[in-house]
Structure 1
Amino acid sequence: MDLLVNIDVPDLAAAEAFYCGAFGLTVTRRFGEGGVELSGLPVKLYLLVKAAGSLGAGQDRRRYERHWTPVHFDLVTEDLEATLARALAAGARLDAQPTTHSWGRIALLADPFGNGFCLLQFLGRGYDEIAPAL
């Protein structure tokens, strides 16, 4: 099996500029005007154009203001401050200042389309600091 990450966006050019600028991703394929494949992470990221108000899952309509979703992605970095600065410069919105925990540091953000994501910097043994051996 492979894992693909799809992100609905209302503006492909703006989304491409954000994700490439914030995280150093590169375009590896284009799907006409409806989508783009980005590489540079362990999984391919697909930006898919979907109009605001169009029907998503169930009867929920797509909206691009900041919203909560039970699924989001975390990007692990070795330098949280530098990655955070780059993401903010590209247009990310900071939801909460970075906090430090026994496992590492985390910053909560949203892309320009309201999709949440986190930046993580592991410290010490990372999640092993809080996970007992199985």
Structure 2
Amino acid sequence: MRLLINIDVPDLSTASSFYIAAFGLKPARRLGESVQELVGAEAPIYLLRKDAGSDAAVDRPREYARHWTPVHCDVVVEDLDASLARALAAGARQEGAIREAAWGRIVQLVDPFGHGWCLLQFLGRGYDEIATWDGA
């Protein structure tokens, strides 16, 4: 399976600048006038220019205020504090405090387009600290 990540944004230039500054991604190529490919993650990220108020996949208009979706991206980082400072300087907003778990540290962010993100810093063996094998 090959995974591609698509993110709706109202302006490609503004969005490209944010994701490059916040997460260290690099612009790869433009696909027409409304798609910007970014690389530097394990999967390519495609910014799709979609106007606010345009039809979304459901019977409601697209909006870029803070919204919730059950799907979001986690960005695994080496240094959570430095990565958080970088994302905030680029225009992200922190949502809640940094939390610690047996596997590492996590903080929730919202980008300037209303999309939720998490920054994760694995500690020790990461998720293996809590993993069990169920044989499935």
| TM-score, normalising length: structure 2 | 0.95
State the identity as a percent: 60
Unmatched segments (≥5 aa) in structure 1? none
Question: CA offsets, 1:93-131, max 9 Å, x none?
Answer: 111121111111000001100000000001111111222
Counting only pairs closer than 5 Å after superposition, residues 105-124 of structure 1 correspond to structure 2 as 105-124=105-124
| TM-score, normalising length: structure 1 | 0.96
In 1, the alpha carbon distance for the partners of 2:22 and 2:101 equals 24
In 2, the alpha carbon distance for the partners of 1:45 and 1:58 equals 22
- 1:117 partner SS: strand
> Once structures 1 and 2 are overlaid, which stretch shifts more, 25-34 or 63-72?
25-34
Q: CA deviation at 1:32?
A: 3.0
Partner amino acid for 1:107? V
Question: CA offsets, 1:59-113, max 9 Å, x none?
Answer: 1321101111111000001100011000000000111121111111000001100
Unmatched segments (≥5 aa) in structure 2? none
Counting only pairs closer than 5 Å after superposition, residues 1-134 of structure 1 correspond to structure 2 as 1-134=1-134
In 2, the alpha carbon distance for the partners of 1:103 and 1:24 equals 24
Runs of 4+ displaced beyond 3 Å: none
Partner amino acid for 1:18? F
- 2:52 partner SS: coil
Q: CA deviation at 1:133?
A: 2.3
> Once structures 1 and 2 are overlaid, which stretch shifts more, 28-37 or 15-24?
28-37
In 1, the alpha carbon distance for the partners of 2:19 and 2:33 equals 17
